[in-house]
Amino acid sequence: MPNTNDQTAAVVADIQRRADEATPPQPFDLAPEKSVVVRTLRNDERVDTTDLESLLDQPRRPRGTALLTDPSDFAAYVSRLATTSTTVWADQDNLKVTATFNDHANGFSGGWRDHQAVLKLKHDEDWKAWLRRDGTLMDQEDFAEHLEDRAHTIVNPDTATMLEIALTFQTRRNASFSRGARLNSGDVQLAWSEETTAKAGASGRLEVPAEFTIAVAPFFGLPATEVTARLRWRIREGQLGIGYRLDRPDLVHRKAFADVRQMLADSLDAPVLLGAAPSLEPFAL
């Protein structure tokens, strides 16, 4: 059986040997080119890598993604950081534009593609409100409230005329409508009648424009564009359903995106390509 004193002496001797072999700490001058430390561990010959980039005064290279929502701000940001390796991609399906600052420079010099700026286009609130009710028949009161809420976007007829029409619909919310007709002028005439509390009948005709024009911007940060809205109505059992149909809002939407692309192409040195940006995964191993 081993002697305890001998075991203790062996442990102490091993500790002393390790202490003698140990290299005392040396000063380390941290710099970008020396911020990755690679060493081989003695016991299992394993390679250990330590990245000290977070201790540097600044990163070794730019990377990350900036998210912007205004086209003008996006153009200013990209202009400040763009290099000869910058590419700009306009993704119409996802309503975004991506600038990749460190894209591939050519067929032989690859880029990491992990430094980007993204313009995420946001729909204007007025545009969303008009689209939300597009093609929907409402009762007079709902239609009147919608006209009042968005009167500032109506350019023809003028705002005062449309507000007057909205007020007329509100005052006739208990009326029974019998028919509608299109006049030679193109306007629509709706015939109504109602019974007052005194049981005396009242009737009349209400003329409203067959179409009107709104000025809205599909995306935040763009100038307003004019869109025609055609009046739609239906009378069933005296109840009037009334609404509108926007004239090809899909084309208005597509043109607005094309305008953003053209505006960026005029502002930036880099071409603005139609399509999705390259993958952030630079290499597949």
Tens place of pLDDT per residue across the chain (285 aa): 556 666 666 766 676 666 666 566 566 666 766 667 777 766 666 777 888 878 888 888 899 999 999 999 999 999 999 999 999 999 999 999 999 999 998 888 889 999 999 999 999 999 999 999 999 998 878 888 898 899 999 999 888 888 887 777 666 666 666 555 565 565 666 665 665 554 444 556 667 778 899 999 999 999 999 999 998 877 776 677 788 999 999 999 999 999 999 999 999 988 899 999 987 664 444
Going from the C-alpha of 116 to that of each of 32, 63, 219, 261, the distances in angstroms are: 22, 7, 22, 17
Q: Dihedral sign for Cα 21, 24, 29, 30, please.
A: positive
Chain-centroid distance of CA 162 in Å reads 32
Tokens standing for residue 92: 């119409």
SS3 call for 80: helix
Query: d(Cα 284, Cα 115) in Å, to the nearest integer?
Result: 18
Query: d(Cα 230, Cα 213) in Å, to the nearest integer?
Result: 9
Query: d(Cα 92, Cα 277) in Å, to the nearest integer?
Result: 11
Judge whether 175 and 194 are in contact, CB under 8 Å: yes
Q: What is the pTM of this model?
A: 0.75
Predicted confidence at residue 198, as pLDDT, reads 45
